[in-house]
Each structure stands twice: as structure tokens, then as C-alpha cells.
Structure 1
Amino acid sequence: MERSLNIRQNLTICITGTPGVGKTSVSRKLAILLRGNVINVGTMVIRRKLFSEYDEYRDTYIVDENSLRDELRKVIRENKRKGVTCIIDTHLLNALQGLDIDLVIVLTCDPLLLLNRNISKGASLQKSIENAVSEFLNQILIDVFKIFDKSKIIVIDTSCKDVNTVANEILNRILSKKYHDEIDWKQANWSFRAAWISKLLTSTSGRI
């Protein structure tokens, strides 16, 4: 039996996190639960050519953040006008500054799990290590708390959870209006992995 959702129908929700935490899969599932649209920013950047160049060494596009921000603003306005919930799937947080975002969902993951996950998906060793270190340092999380008011932020740990579990956890937090809690988000229990990551970087530095 489908739940009756007492949720405003024109929300703009950003789902963010380090590449590999599950943003795209969770965004699609949450869109089904909320009857909304998903905007995959990576796809938008490529299709609309919102980049200045391609960095072959880092295997990534250099995004034109101003152009991307303008395009996202148009999409958000159109979805709000239609009364449709819009879910933005991205880790490009700077492009979201100044936009009408109602909620920011930050997906986190154990850095070691993230490393293995990205390698198993076929990502390069260099890129996988770069993302694992970024997650270890909480870079996305720190940026989110700098850009957005904490009252809009929900942090979800995706480690060892499937897509349905994560999406329903987000839905329940939205329904209960329990967003940012008072737990210190900097206290992720990953400090004992610092030596391991340091050794990994040292051992692979000549092969990347």
C-alpha cells in the first residue's frame, strides 16, 4: 500500500557526496518515492557543453560554473512553476550557490568501502584514491556546511546499505522534518584509517 505523502510538491532537493557514494541511484529511487524529476548535473554539463575543457590527466571536465548555475536556475524555476519536486544529483556545490535549494542531502560512505566500490566500477586507481581521500577529509561535507544553512541539511551514511534503504531513510527524515541533528558530523569514526591511506598513497605514487 502506497504511503500518502504530506510533502510539498515543488521542493528542490540536492543530493550530493563524493563520487561513488550512490548519488545517482538514490536520486532515481527518491524521485520515484516523491514523484519528482531528477537532474543529473554531470549529464547536463556534457549535453549542453557547460565546460571549458577536458582534463585528460584527471579524467574530468572543467565545468563553467556560471553557465551551469544559470541553467540550473532555469530548471529549478520551471519545476517550481509546475509544482514538481526537482532532485539535483551533483557534487559540484559551487554551482549551487545562490539557487533556491530547499534541502541538501549529503551521502557519506566509509572511505575504504568507497575506494573498493569505485575500483570495482572501473574507475582509475588514481581517481579512486583521490575520491577516498576526499571522503576521509569530509571535503564535500565541509563545503555543504559552508554554503548552506544547517537547517536544510540531512546527512546519511550509505555504508553497507542498499539503495532502497537509503532512499527510504531520506524520505522518513523529510516526512518527520528531522534534518540536521546535533551530532558533530566531523566525528566520523574513520580516524584509524589515516595511516592506511597514507601508506596506500605512498605505495602507489610511482604507478599512478
Structure 2
Amino acid sequence: MSDVDGTERKRPNILVTGTPGVGKTATASLIAETVGLRHVNVGELIAQHKCYEGYDDALDTHVLDEDKLLDLMEGIFQECADEGMGIVADYHSCELFPERWFDLILVLRAKTDVLFDRLTERGYGEKKRSENLEAEIMQVVLDEAKESYDVEIVHEVTSNTVEEMESNVERCRLWAEQWIANNS
């Protein structure tokens, strides 16, 4: 696989995506640790570098400055490639990222009762919690991933329990080992 500047990459890049509360950050962090990739929490990156254009009171969220975020991430991808390192990024949306960035898209799914409890624990208000539950029921993120990337690299997995998360991490480890073997 070629990198942003056309050089061959030595490590894969993975995107872990899904509705808020499905376990993206925990899963991505474990994948990074297990596989030896750099974890990029896109939400933290956005906050840290103020990649937003304003605030939407009705949706209770910042309005993303996609250009600023993508420019910032392009630099991170290049830096990691120069170091022979791969990335595992996590974010609740995926259609904004260039298809060439990722070798695997992992879409985490959770049952609505599990998701409801997780979002309640986070202090989500009724409106925001309902919107996210509806998005999960309607499989918005999964459909977005399938429309934005080659369906061969999009994998839907459940993330209701710690055991499922550990299984997902192990599957990614095995997949990454095979990717490295195939691309060395």
C-alpha cells in the first residue's frame, strides 16, 4: 500500500468507527497497543487543535472544520509513514476521510439497551441520546462506511461486552499480521 506521498507503507492504517458510545476509543486504544500502531483519537484531535467553525446549540455540538482537520491528519499520516508506523484512528463519522488513508474500516455496533446505558452514564441529554440511538438502529455509520469505502475493507462487529471487544482486538491483530506479511 502506498502512503500519502507515494512511498510504500510498512504498517496498516485502521479506522474504528460507530455511533457514540459503542466503544471506539477503548477498542482503538487496545488495537494500537496490541498491534503496535499509533492511536489517533480524532475527537481529541479536533478539540486540541480547535478544528471547528462554531457551535450548534440545537445539536449541542461543535461544527467541524473538515479542511483544518484533514490537513492536520494528513501531516500525522505522513509523519507515521516516515517512521514506518501505522495508525488506528477512531471517530464517529467516516465519510470525510479519503479512501486511500485506511486499509480496514471497523464499524462497531451495540445493542440499544447497552448503548442507552453508556450514553446515560456519559451524561447525554434525552435529545442527544435519542438521536444517537436512532442512528444506531438505522445503522447510519455502517451505511456511511459502505458508501464511502470499498465494501471489502468494511467490517461490522458487535461491541456489547468486554469479551466482544477483546475478540475484535484479536481479529484486528491477526488481520494486521496478515496485512504486514502481504505487504512486505
Q: What TM-score, normalized to structure 1?
A: 0.75
Gaps of 5+ in 2: 1-8, 180-184
2:43 corresponding residue in structure 1: 42
Distance (whole Å) between structure 2 residues aligned to residue 171 and residue 10 of structure 1:
12
RCO higher in 1 or 2 (8 Å CA, sep ≥ 6)?
2
Gaps of 5+ in 1: 1-7, 178-208
Q: 1:98 to 1:155 in 2, by over 3 A?
A: closer
Range 56-65 or range 31-40, more displaced: 56-65
2:14 corresponding residue in structure 1: 13
Contact 1:68 1:95 in 2 (8 A): no
Contact 1:65 1:94 in 2 (8 A): no
Q: Deviations over 1:118-155 (max 9, x none)?
A: 11222222211111110000000000000000121222
Q: Secondary structure at the match of 2:101?
A: coil
Q: Secondary structure at the match of 1:93?
A: coil
Contact 1:14 1:87 in 2 (8 A): yes
Q: CA RMSD in A?
A: 1.9
1:155 corresponding residue in structure 2: 156
Range 97-106 or range 72-81, more displaced: 97-106
Distance (whole Å) between structure 2 residues aligned to residue 78 and residue 68 of structure 1:
15
Once the 2 structures are TM-superposed, how far is the Cα of residue 16 of structure 1 from its aligned partner?
0.4
Whichever of the two has the greater Rg, that structure is 1
Once the 2 structures are TM-superposed, how far is the Cα of residue 62 of structure 1 from its aligned partner?
0.5
Residue 33 (structure 1) aligned with residue 34 (structure 2): yes
Structure 2 letter corresponding to 1:52? E
Equivalent position to 1:171, from 170, 173, 178: 173
Contact 2:104 2:153 in 1 (8 A): yes
Once the 2 structures are TM-superposed, how far is the Cα of residue 98 of structure 1 from its aligned partner?
4.6
1:96 corresponding residue in structure 2: 97
Contact 2:18 2:141 in 1 (8 A): yes
Structure 2 matches for 1:176-195, cutoff 5 A? none
Structure 1 letter corresponding to 2:113? L
2:182 corresponding residue in structure 1: none
Q: Secondary structure at the match of 1:130?
A: helix
Q: 1:55 to 1:99 in 2, by over 3 A?
A: farther
Q: Secondary structure at the match of 2:105?
A: strand
Contact 1:16 1:23 in 2 (8 A): yes
Once the 2 structures are TM-superposed, how far is the Cα of residue 99 of structure 1 from its aligned partner?
4.3
1:124 corresponding residue in structure 2: 125
Once the 2 structures are TM-superposed, how far is the Cα of residue 10 of structure 1 from its aligned partner?
2.0
Once the 2 structures are TM-superposed, how far is the Cα of residue 9 of structure 1 from its aligned partner?
4.5
Q: Secondary structure at the match of 2:55?
A: strand
Once the 2 structures are TM-superposed, how far is the Cα of residue 71 of structure 1 from its aligned partner?
1.4
- Give % identity: 24
Q: Secondary structure at the match of 1:133?
A: helix
Q: Secondary structure at the match of 2:161?
A: coil
Contact 1:66 1:95 in 2 (8 A): no
Once the 2 structures are TM-superposed, how far is the Cα of residue 105 of structure 1 from its aligned partner?
0.8
Q: What TM-score, normalized to structure 2?
A: 0.84
